Chains A and B, each alone.
Chain A
Amino acid sequence: MSDAEALRRFVLDTLADVGATVSEADPLSWIQVPERVRSDLEVPSTFAITFDPDRVGDFEAELVAPGSYFLERIVALAASRGRWDVARFDAADAEWIQQSLSEGGLGSETGVHLETVELGETVLLLFSFRVTLVSDEKRERFHLIAVSPTTGSAWEVDSAKADSGLTALPQARIEPDLQAAYRLGAEKLRETTREAVGAFRAASLGLLEEEVRRIFGYFDRTIEEIQAADPDGSQDLLRAVRGERDRRLAETVERFDPKASASLCAIRAIQVPIARVHLRLPQGRGIDATLDAWSRRVDGLACDVCHGIDGPWIPYAGAVRCVRCPPTPAESARPRGRPRSDTPRRGTRDGRGSARSPRGSTARSRAASGRRRAP
């Protein structure tokens, strides 16, 4: 969908959602709005809008386009509604548990054994945030952060998948602990945006420094030139030059001062099936995790290396690490007194036709090592 089509869809859907009747008579759309939203939109009960700037004024049609006052009001109206919502995710069968484990790197193919499963239900909270970075320019992003109050974890959600498989539960009565969940979500948002915020700050300060250097260079040399031309010259002139320099500096600092802010746009509660599972790692250690059918996340684990709580995971030496962390020395070390690897080498008779799988071979090697060192 083009930007223009998306804009049109959004405006007409918003009007329909507030109870307006829309009759399209290209290039105009005739709108009849209920009394309760007339003041929000600052419109009469019936009016025309157009998306074509050349048709503005036909029947006093209001222009709807980026920067137009009407669009501003429609955006404000839409943003003031739908600020909370309840939805439900239903899983067709229990397959999702194995699938979630596999996607999380803990499927049976990795040697992890699913020992017990306890099914249940929980409410996840999905917070939408608008993040704004401003200096002499503005950059904004929209973020969806999910929080599981059950496990205390929070993660970023891809906007494109946020609605998938959900059914509405408009009348459901729930009262989640929003404050605690919000704090977790906000912390996650800070973490998610840290790099972008840092880069923005660095760029702004780089520009500020360049400007400040130029201003100092110009005014200081100007003062030197004035003094060289007339050593006994007027101090008033020098004071005036310094005054102008200080004013310009203040103006520049204000111009490039970076600011980062976030505001909560809306909250959605999602009722979702969960599974509390007990897993046995290949080396024999047992771990507990919580899975949910909507996000398919394996929750409740911590990386043995970085202590992060986001998978996917790699089981090693009786523990798990996240895929972002490099292998540990213990994991990389060759087992003493054993061959380098029991994987047949490529190009040899045994290795002919075998798929090259460094991960698989490492896993086996680690497993062997782990078994050897186990008490």
Chain B
Amino acid sequence: MSLPVSEAARPADASLSLQFDDADADLLARAFRTPGDGPRAWALNGEAHRISLIDGFDRLLAWPTLRGVVRYPHQERTCLRVLREMRGRAILADEVGLGKTIEAGLLLKEYTIRGLVRRALILTPASLTGQWREEMESKFELPFAVLRSVGDWERRPLLVASIDTAKRDPHRVWAQRTSWDLVIVDEAHRLKNRLSVNWRFVAGLSKKYMLLLTATPVQNDMDELFNLVSLLKPGALHTYDRFVERYVGSADGRVPAHVPELRDRLRDVMVRNRRGIAFTLPPRRVHSLPVRLSPRERRLYDDVTEFVRDAYWSVSGRMSWAARLTLIVLQREIGSSTFAVAETLNRLTQSPLFGAAERERLEALRDDARAIPSNVKVDHLAGFLRSSDEKALVFTQYLRTMHYLKGVLEGDGHRVVIYHGGLPPAAKDAAVRSFRGEGQIFLSTEAGGEGRNLQFARTVVNYDLPWNPLRIEQRIGRVHRLGQTREVHVVNLWAQDTVEAYLMELLDRKIHMFELVVGELDLILGTLDERRSFEDMMMEIWTLRQAEERRAALRRLGDALVRARDQYDAMRERNDEVLRDVSDEVPA
């Protein structure tokens, strides 16, 4: 039996009176016993209080002073709307690339400044925990920790956790026992099924405010939208039966009905900014620079590959995780430069992972690598850079390749700025400033400029290609993002008959990855029904012994990627159909 509404809603006392702070008594006891700090201190005391007064959400306090964040009006409007109208419970459903993370971080910051959020939990896919922690720290000065052990639930008031870890015992118990001021769920379309452990876990969290981030609230059918909204505000779309009766127009649940009315209801819980009306990202131009390796480089590449294949399919057949990883690194390094691979080969000659015969082969490979004085690929890079006056970001995965490139490019007369994860923060800041000023080439490893505004440049050179396509996308995202006004050039250097050539085949020719907006690739790969990482898939194809087998496996993966891209395109259309104009705002 339900309680009467008024009974549940109203606290027992009929009025609210001021509660005076117990600490007042201390001040009364101490005051005037000794001389005060003087009239200026008295005035500053008042000023300290006045300056820190909070008056609701009359304005965004942190917005004007965020570090390394280009501020866009649609983000400010979104935040004010979530704070004032949605009262901190919203689905942030901006299209990909419009800065949902910034909006969520800003909302969190505004709440923390006001003292309304002290305990916050960010739930993300495992691969994004580090990125969220870093962004919250660098852009919002919010000291989040990534969940490592059960003790963190008590110790860390600001926590980033992989949803897959958090939903499992013993973590689940701790997470649901805690009273959270704010819960943020990234990639919230993973909560589409209310019978799933994910959905029930998030529903079971005790929270004051909640933000669900997803660019695609509707992935397959309308049920998903209902489930997402019910998590946030049960009843906002009626009960399930009523929702189906009113807003679902087909038996398979894919066709919406009474769409304008549905959008009206969604406006109470959802903000969706769209690209393309007031704001359009400039186009990208992709330049593919295939390289023919020199005979010595070719031979080394083939020999290293043969070693990797032999070791990968060794008689024992059951490789340790460490050995497997080592082989992947080796194969990736040889795709970058002979300088990158030489040192690893040297290190492996001492490694217990390999037997005596293998170590002997490694020694020979090391000697071959060290004997190669220069790489052909760098000539292509230098040729390209000579042809343009533009500032360019040149990315490589490896420090040794980076140092090699630095020497060559400086010798060629370029002003080169280096940037990598090992630099102290001040040196990183100085590097970005130098590139903004006199620097011509920003030579960077993967850590390159994460979270930095480098949109004043518009050329990205991939000197080598990471096997994880999301890393390639992140590189491009350093310049092709909100704030870029000019056409962006992406230059890919890759050697023929290498893993990188396979990558180009899949990513460029099959799914046209270089034309996607940053963020879309993740959604495409997310629809691949595949448990293995992209890197693992590439390695497994590459290590097949027969060229015929390799081609067939590559074709199968290519077809799966094409299907995933088609699925993504269809999903985007479905979301547009249901959610277009769901925000009252002028589209971004």
A residues with a Cβ closer than 8 A to B are 6-7, 10, 13-14, 17, 53-54, 56-60, 63, 65-69, 74-76, 78-79, 81-87, 128, 130-131, 134, 136-142, 159, 163, 166, 168, 170-171, 173-176, 178-179, 182, 186, 189-190, 193, 197-198, 200-201, 205, 207-209, 212-222, 225, 229, 244, 247-251, 253-255, 257-269
Contact = CB atoms under 8 A, between A and B. Distances in A.
A40 B84 CA distance: 35
A56 B62 CA distance: 15
22 contacts: A14-B44, A17-B44, A67-B113, A67-B141, A68-B141, A78-B48, A81-B41, A83-B27, A84-B42, A131-B18, A141-B53, A142-B53, A170-B35, A176-B32, A178-B32, A198-B15, A225-B241, A248-B234, A255-B208, A264-B24, A264-B28, A267-B27
Contacts of B55: 139-140
A136 B44 contact: no
Contact of A263 (B20, B39, B50, B56): B20
B19 A262 contact: yes
Contact of B44 (A68, A78, A220, A247): A78
A75 B53 CA distance: 11
Given A67-B62, A222-B239, A137 B45 contact: no
Given A13-B44, A168-B39, A266-B42, A142 B50 contact: yes
B53 A130 contact: yes
Contacts of B38: 17, 82, 85, 168, 170
A215 B37 CA distance: 54
B240 A225 contact: yes
B421 interface: no
Nearest to A258: B16
Contact of A209 (B5, B15, B30): B5
A268 to B, nearest CB: 6
A81 B241 CA distance: 62
Lowest 5 A-B CB distances belong to which pairs?
A82-B41, A218-B235, A65-B65, A78-B48, A263-B21
A264 to B, nearest CB: 4
Contacts of A17: 37-38, 40-41, 44
Nearest to A58: B429
Contacts of A266: 27, 42, 45-46
A212 B57 contact: no
A83 B16 contact: no
Contacts of A190: 17-18
Contacts of A175: 32
Looking at A85, A193, A254, the one whose CB has the most chain B CB atoms below 10 A away is: A85
B329 to A, nearest CB: 33
Looking at B15, B18, B242, the one whose CB has the most chain A CB atoms below 10 A away is: B18
Contacts of B203: 244
A66 B59 CA distance: 12
Contacts, number: 256
B202 to A, nearest CB: 12
A251 B8 contact: no
Contact of A249 (B8, B62, B239): B8
Contacts of A207: 87
A349 B513 CA distance: 95
A85 B42 contact: yes
Looking at A65, A84, A86, A208, the one whose CB has the most chain B CB atoms below 10 A away is: A84
Contacts of A244: 203
B351 to A, nearest CB: 40
Contact of A66 (B48, B49, B113): B113
Looking at A63, A78, A178, the one whose CB has the most chain B CB atoms below 10 A away is: A78
B11 interface: yes
B425 interface: yes
Given A57-B425, A84-B32, A216-B2, A251 B45 contact: no
Given A205-B9, A212-B9, A218-B235, A260 B21 contact: no
A255 B8 CA distance: 13
A265 B43 CA distance: 11
B20 A261 contact: yes
A82 B40 contact: yes
A302 B7 CA distance: 42
B31 interface: yes
Contacts of B51: 6-7, 10, 75
Contacts of B43: 82, 163
A47 B172 CA distance: 44
Nearest to B57: A137
Given A179-B28, A205-B9, A79 B18 contact: no
Contacts of A213: 5
A65 B140 CA distance: 12
A253 to B, nearest CB: 7
B141 A69 contact: yes
A138 B35 CA distance: 35
Nearest to A201: B16
Nearest to A128: B46
B20 A136 contact: no
B10 interface: yes
Interface in B491-522: none
Given A68-B65, A82-B37, 7 more contacts: A53-B67, A67-B65, A85-B39, A166-B39, A178-B28, A212-B8, A262-B21
A331 B62 CA distance: 57
B89 to A, nearest CB: 9
A128 B39 contact: no
Contacts of A76: 48
Given A60-B426, A218-B239, A209 B45 contact: no
B316 interface: no
B6 interface: yes
Nearest to A224: B239
Contacts of A60: 426
